[in-house]
Chain A
Amino acid sequence: MKIKVLNAKCQGHARCAATAPDIFRLDDDGYILPGDIEVKPGDEEKASLGARSCPECALEIEE
């Protein structure tokens, strides 16, 4: 599973990291770091929940 990160859409809500801090890494201001996220086996559910919590729809789940 892969999460596509649309950095231009991130507005620093930090909901993804509140759900799964180990999967979604933020910069010092609370915005997501650039780069798509390769989800480790076993982390899929948390990653999916984190992605779905983004109010901007800035995280797209790719199977």
Chain B
Amino acid sequence: MRPVPAHVPPEMVGDFSLFTSPGMDRTANGDPQAAAAVALNGPRVFYSQMNTRDGRGTWVVTRADDQRRVLQDPETFSSHRSIFASALGESWPMIPLEIDPPRHALYRSLLNPLLSPKRVIAMEEAVRERAGVLIDKILANGTSCEVMDDFAFPFAVNIFLRFLGLSDDRLEEFVSWANDLLHGDDEQRPRAARTIVEFIRSLAEERRRKPVDDFMTFVVQAEIEGRPLDEQEVMGIGVLLFVAGLDTVAAAIGFDLRYLAEHPDDQELLRREPDRIVLAKEEMLRAFSTVQMIRVATRDVDFEGAPIKKGDYVSCASMIANRDPDEFEDPEKLDLGRIGNRHTAFATGPHRCIGSHLARREIEVALEEWLARVPTFRIKEGTAPITYGGHVFGIEGLVLHWS
């Protein structure tokens, strides 16, 4: 573990970490979001000595209101980190995520129309069709399945591939790249990163030569400030799309179906009244958030008593803020009809997840089709899903059974 920097007062060092605290490692029948919420028992801001995947310390901002202030202030709290490129020993930003305003707006307004609420409505039919095909295949195969491998990943990856303009042939390959990149060890991560870079480079090359109507063609033809995007910008955009859209949607679907399997009353309610799914999904996004946002201080700043120094990392973990009792009444309780639910599963501030509209629709459709087609389900006896915290929270080995 790296030493605590000299400017951090010893009394501000906390023992919480999204990587090493109890319930954060792989746990059978775990509840990593509830385990992370213990950070709310501590001070509003503290320093965690080991709180990134590469073993760095961060300030931890625990309260919803304080996180909002950090994420809405990109001048003080920058998102320029080159997190993907660093796995390759390089330094270039994922775009738009790791670009700060004002330049951020150039890329954001270029890409926003591709993932706008209107555009997502046009994608819905294909999304629903895909969910139906996958679920029908599962039903034809018997009365149980492993949700992540049989449904959540193939579903999310298929939609992503379709968005990119690619066929399903290489689906398993893509899942394994994403898995190695996000959850792999020190050898798997750089290898997956190199593979993804090579893949995007060759796809961009192909679309330059032979344009079609898809995302990568749009990117290689796009212009900002009267010039085409350069190689690095194309790469930054392509990589972000790859990293952000696969694992997170699948994890949300997994956590939601696990919850419904373990709470038959709520499962029955959504079955009986599927109109409730849209709102219920927001509550599950709140309770089962999977991402922590990290920002870098651009100057020395006192934040609620924390003497943050230029260059310090500041962590805003959505799963902590989303259980803040000052923001949510009875935060530990899942209330599928909760209203005024301004959770931050997709972050706040200018870097609000650009794919949030598509992700929301994917999750809704997945739950709607699952509940409409699969009879009452529960966790298969003798099995236990494995959950984990860390960089992106997740769940695996989720075996559901129905009769």
Instruction: Give the interface of A toward B (CB within 8 A).
Output: 9, 11-15, 17-18, 26, 28-30, 49, 52-57
Contacts and interface: CB of A to CB of B under 8 A. Distances in A.
Given A9-B72, A14-B117, A30 B348 contact: no
Interface residues of B, number: 22
Given A9-B72, A15-B342, A53-B342, A28 B116 contact: yes
B117 A49 contact: no
A57 B341 CA distance: 12
B357 A30 contact: yes
15 contacts: A13-B352, A15-B342, A17-B117, A26-B117, A28-B118, A29-B109, A29-B112, A29-B116, A30-B118, A55-B68, A55-B342, A55-B344, A56-B68, A56-B72, A57-B68
B346 interface: yes
B112 to A, nearest CB: 4
Nearest to A11: B352
Given A49-B340, A52-B342, A11 B348 contact: yes
A30 B348 CA distance: 15
Contacts of A28: 113, 116, 118
B343 A55 contact: yes
Shortest Cβ-Cβ A-B pairs, 8 listed: A52-B340, A29-B112, A11-B352, A55-B342, A30-B117, A30-B116, A55-B348, A29-B116
A53 B68 contact: no
Given A29-B112, A30-B117, A30-B357, A53 B352 contact: no
Interface of B is mostly: loop
B349 interface: yes
Nearest to A10: B352
Contacts of B357: 14, 30
Contacts of B343: 55
Contacts of A13: 346, 352, 356
Contacts of B307: none
Interface of B: 68, 72, 109, 112-113, 116-118, 278, 339-344, 346, 348-350, 352, 356-357
Contacts of B278: 18
Contacts of A54: 342
A53 B340 contact: yes
Contacts of B344: 55
A15 B282 CA distance: 10
Contacts of B342: 15, 52-55, 57
A29 B119 CA distance: 9
Contacts of B109: 29
A53 B348 contact: no
A49 to B, nearest CB: 6
Nearest to B346: A13
A45 B174 CA distance: 46
B346 A49 contact: no
Contacts of A18: 278
Contacts of A57: 68, 342
A60 to B, nearest CB: 13
A25 to B, nearest CB: 12
A11 B357 CA distance: 12
Contacts of A12: 112, 352
B341 A53 contact: yes
A47 B309 CA distance: 42
A26 B357 CA distance: 13
Contacts of B339: 49, 52-53
B277 to A, nearest CB: 13
Among A9, A11, A17, A56, the most chain B Cβ lie within 10 Å of the Cβ of A11
A51 to B, nearest CB: 9
A30 B353 CA distance: 13
Contacts of A53: 339-342
A9 B352 CA distance: 11
A55 to B, nearest CB: 4
Nearest to B350: A11
